[in-house]
Amino acid sequence: MREKYIKKDKILIIHTVAWSHYSALTFSELYKLSINNNFDFFVIHLARTHRGRERIGDYDAQIHNYPHKILYNGFLEDLSTVNKIRLLLKEIIDYKPTILITAGYSDPSIIFSAIFNKIRGGKNIITSDTTINDRTRIWYKELLKKIILKFFDFAFCIGTKQMEYLLSLGFDKNKIIKAGWYAVDYKGILINKPLTVFKRHNFLYVGRLSPEKNLKMLINSFYEVKKFENSKEWGLILVGDGPQREELFKLVNSLGLKNDVFFVGGKSWKEVVDFYTISDVFILPSISEPWGLVVNEAMMCGLPVVVSKRCGSYWDLVKEGINGFGFDPFNQKELQEIMLKFMNKEVDMKKMGEESKNIIKDYTPENAAKQMFIGIKKVLGLE
């Protein structure tokens, strides 16, 4: 164990966008732990938000209760890689972090910054939300990841499948901890049920309206189950916006579901709570989904969850027949059978919702920050 330091250790986190409310809550808790343990703490967000997210709320300064800086007050997509690298290197040189925590390896500028920090003598932790099923794996890209990971001293993985993927890349099991900033908290949020009249019972989807979310299959499944006797009181609410909106809208009309499927548009993280409260079952049918934080949200609001087995969260949060079900996103019949279980009252929805709340109760920003801080101390030899 390292001897107790005299000079303050400095924690620097490089994150993508400040829009992310869930990361803000965890960073705020991690900041409290840092200052209480004589650490300096700072977060750099590359940009204010992503293009396309402007319809679902802006950066909310009130929840960012930690020292931070936004390098570009616009869309991340508009900031070139060269400029990101230039700005990040300047911040690292000025701040001189003892330990650098980065968000994944999808942005070249973040990887370049980690390599630079390692060369200057700092320690690096990577936060990984990647699973083997995210996308088709190409051998030379996987080889490059193995090389990149050699510049990291430790890894935070948000779940079981993320951990398995890092192990497949040769990362040391003893240098991985289950942690990260994927946690939600709705304490203090005022719930106002929407005035719009939906069905008595509703399936709910929340997220982008885009091909990888597999919403055409969800709508077609709903169309098939609507043919059964107990379906009249059931609707499907789609909360979100995206490039597939018009295509999905046309599909709904062609199937004669315009009075049963409700497109409510993009909503901020505070507004979306209302739709969880008026719904009965949450469904996430994605073909590719590293985690699926909306599953956490739905469970926190007391809903049973039906989650594609291609979603990372399924493997950690869904207990079959207890708080929900998993399904193969390429098997429409399997999803239909699950939906019918709820329609035909073959399961106790209220009990399942209570189980969801019980399972998710420890997935809080406070606990996420505690796990991250344990990892930080391990890297620095303080534990």
pLDDT tens digit sequence for 8-57: 899 999 999 988 888 999 999 999 999 999 999 999 999 998 876 666 66
Number of H helices, E strands in the chain: 13, 13
Residue with the two structure tokens 């606990």? 367
pLDDT (0 to 100) of residue 55: 65
Q: Is residue 306 part of a domain?
A: yes
| 239 shares a domain with 112 | no
| 85 shares a domain with 54 | yes
Q: Is residue 287 part of a domain?
A: yes
| 231 shares a domain with 178 | no
Q: Is residue 327 part of a domain?
A: yes
* 18 close to 70: Cβ distance less than 8 angstroms: yes
pLDDT (0 to 100) of residue 54: 64
Cα–chain center distance at 202: 23
Per-residue pLDDT reduced to its tens digit, 237-279: 999 999 999 999 999 999 999 999 999 998 888 889 999 999 9
Instruction: State the Cα–Cα distance between residues 203 and 199, nearest whole angstrom.
Output: 10
Quick one: tokens of 172? 């040391």
Per-residue pLDDT reduced to its tens digit, 142-157: 999 999 999 999 999 9
Q: Is residue 1 part of a domain?
A: no
* 171 close to 151: Cβ distance less than 8 angstroms: no
Q: Is residue 32 part of a domain?
A: yes
Q: Is residue 69 part of a domain?
A: yes
- DSSP 3-state of 20: coil
* 149 close to 126: Cβ distance less than 8 angstroms: yes
| 113 shares a domain with 257 | no
Instruction: State the Cα–Cα distance between residues 336 and 342, nearest whole angstrom.
Output: 10
pLDDT (0 to 100) of residue 5: 41
| 86 shares a domain with 205 | no
Q: Write out the residue range of the structural domain in which residue 175 sits.
A: 9-183+364-379
Report the domain count for the chain. Answer: 2
| 350 shares a domain with 300 | yes
Instruction: State the Cα–Cα distance between residues 89 and 113, nearest whole angstrom.
Output: 6
Q: CATH number, domain at 302?
A: 3.40.50.2000
| 282 shares a domain with 261 | yes
